Structure 1
Amino acid sequence: MNTRLITFLALLLASVCGASVACAEALSVTDSVEHVASKETLVNLNAANVEQLMTLPGIGKSKAEAIVAYREAEGPFNTVDDLLEVKGIGKKLLAKLSASVEVR
């Protein structure tokens, strides 16, 4: 009887470990898909309107309007770092934004 219990527990442990490996593999695939999806959802500083810019971390209505006004006055952004020229955007805010924006 003890042999049956040990066999059962061994099989149970093996199935749980196998499920964990499958879950881990599924998680890594999901993480990769999310990473790709996040790249596709970057906000283009040269095309975004005020509402789209307001979805960015640390950007409210006034900063979004300042970004659009700067773009209209100075022309398109050449790099994400050009945001430093916009009133109200400093290095700390730029660091928060850099993963969410792009220039095309």
Structure 2
Amino acid sequence: MVSADTVDLNRADATALARVLSGIGPVKAQAIVAYREANGPFKRVEDLRRVPGIGTALVKANQSQLSVGAADPVPVAKKAQVSKPANPAKAGAVQRQ
């Protein structure tokens, strides 16, 4: 049975994973969540193979139902501003004569 639903590996809970994915029951679904919590978000769908009990065949069988989004929005880092000293002599600059 092919489901029209898709599931984001980085956001779905065990119930959603077990409901949408073929061959994934509650135990394997919980293993996926536990792996994600211990190792951080999945970067690619293929990374699902790193979860104990999940092999290449299961990943391929469910690939069309899987997606990988960001676990949480990542804030954009601001560039550090470098301030220049007002008077180079006071900042320890060597004056040449």
Task: For structure 1, list consecutive stretches of 5 or more residues without a partner in the other structure.
Answer: 1-37
SS of aligned partner of 1:73: helix
Percent identical: 48
The aligned amino acid for 1:60 is: G
- Structural mapping, 1:77-92, within 5 Å: 77-92=42-57
Match of 2:16 among 52, 63, 68: 52
Q: What is residue 24 of structure 1 aligned with on the other side? A: none
Q: What is residue 62 of structure 1 aligned with on the other side? A: 27
Deviation at 1:97, TM superposition (A): 1.2
Paired with 2:65 and 2:39, the residues of 1 have a C-alpha distance of 22
Higher helix share: 1
- Structural mapping, 1:4-83, within 5 Å: 38=4, 41-55=5-19, 56-83=21-48
Deviation at 1:64, TM superposition (A): 0.2
Paired with 1:45 and 1:91, the residues of 2 have a C-alpha distance of 16
Task: For structure 2, list consecutive stretches of 5 or more residues without a partner in the other structure.
Answer: 70-97
Paired with 2:51 and 2:37, the residues of 1 have a C-alpha distance of 12
Q: Provide the aligned C-alpha RMSD in A.
A: 0.8
TM-score, normalization: structure 2?
A: 0.65
